[in-house]
Chains A and B, each alone.
Chain A
């Protein structure tokens, strides 16, 4: 799931992130920071849902729905590749 852009995303402990290739900056909440860290370790979506349900008081269906929303935002900003780019 991760790509070069996400690996190179500079992010501080407060969730302020800087994309070096575009110059865009982002404010990411605590859960988002953790998800990005998990993605960087190579987690797939299923593993991310497990991490979220283990770390927070939330059921798997809610975690999956919120994760989809967050991953779509990363996709929209080009921080993770589209499925076709991964398989190409």
Chain B
């Protein structure tokens, strides 16, 4: 398939982004794609990874405004016309939904949910959403001030989870800890802050692709085997649990989700009930894991965009597991200089494959 695909989120450090996994999955199926890496920082590790992006371009953060992003994409389009763009970061999704018509007019396609779907899965709206599909979510309260915060804590009792509207979640056990995290989260993300009852149990994630009409076409459920200090899954095993599968599919159907997503659940160890924690509107960092045994969701997305229609993938076989492994990349300062100075770097002609002296 001689197409040009742009992917964002190439950093694979302590809190890995999904871009490298998306590219790896696409290359598993289509060796002759041209991959464009869109990066916000010259230290995104995937830039320097072999067999990752062919060409890398700097792009402005979505917070710089639509015009700035579109203007940069227009320039990139003159150099490397993009057939399909796969945004992989939470903060990009709403901006990309808004840019969808403009990019489509330029020949760049995306597979994204509607703005309504994205809004309906916001942390502050989860109670309403789960009620519509017979699922559960931990009891939570939206708060905007300290009296509301303390009232919520009195009602839900310690320990509690306190969460920002978009990112970050912390367990707190005392009023002092609660206030400390409240001010920190307000400072970083603004209101509303979510206070949530703390559920003790194992964490489960589902990666899925929806067709926008209610059908789930790609689906992989895992139990987190290793959880990092930041709560990230550094290891996971494919499982098949009917209650969890039904909950995941019901949510995607209710949202009429179009494109990739990740659903995060926790199973109450005393009751066995699953509770929805959040829905992320993009592929997770472990996106390439199911592709490695044939359940290739980035390829499914690409085929849906380019060929139309989406044939559901066969179920994932339980028992495969992944363990995240980090490695150091050796890079040349000249390559970083190229990207820093010109905002673009054609990695194919670079000598970033460095081999030790024999």
Contacts and interface: CB of A to CB of B under 8 A. Distances in A.
Interface of A: 10, 18, 20-23, 78
B240 A21 contact: yes
Q: Secondary structure of the A side of the interface? A: loop
B318 A23 contact: yes
Interface string B202-234: 100000000000000000001101000000000
Of A10, A18, A21, A23, most buried by chain B (CB within 10 Å of CB) is A23
Contacts, number: 24
A3 to B, nearest CB: 13
How many interface residues does chain B have, given as a range? 10 to 19
Contact of B223 (A10, A22, A78): A22
Contacts of A78: 272
11 contacts: A18-B318, A18-B319, A20-B318, A20-B319, A21-B241, A21-B242, A22-B202, A22-B241, A23-B225, A23-B238, A23-B318
A48 to B, nearest CB: 26
B317 to A, nearest CB: 9
Nearest to A19: B239
A77 to B, nearest CB: 12
Nearest to A8: B240
- Nearest 9 pairs of A and B residues by beta carbon: A23-B223, A23-B237, A20-B318, A21-B241, A23-B239, A20-B240, A18-B319, A21-B239, A20-B239
Nearest to A18: B319
A20 B319 CA distance: 7
Nearest to A20: B318
Interface string B238-249: 111110000000
Contacts of A21: 239-242
Given A20-B319, A21-B240, A23-B238, 12 more contacts: A10-B319, A18-B319, A20-B239, A20-B318, A21-B239, A21-B241, A21-B242, A22-B202, A22-B223, A23-B222, A23-B318, A23-B321
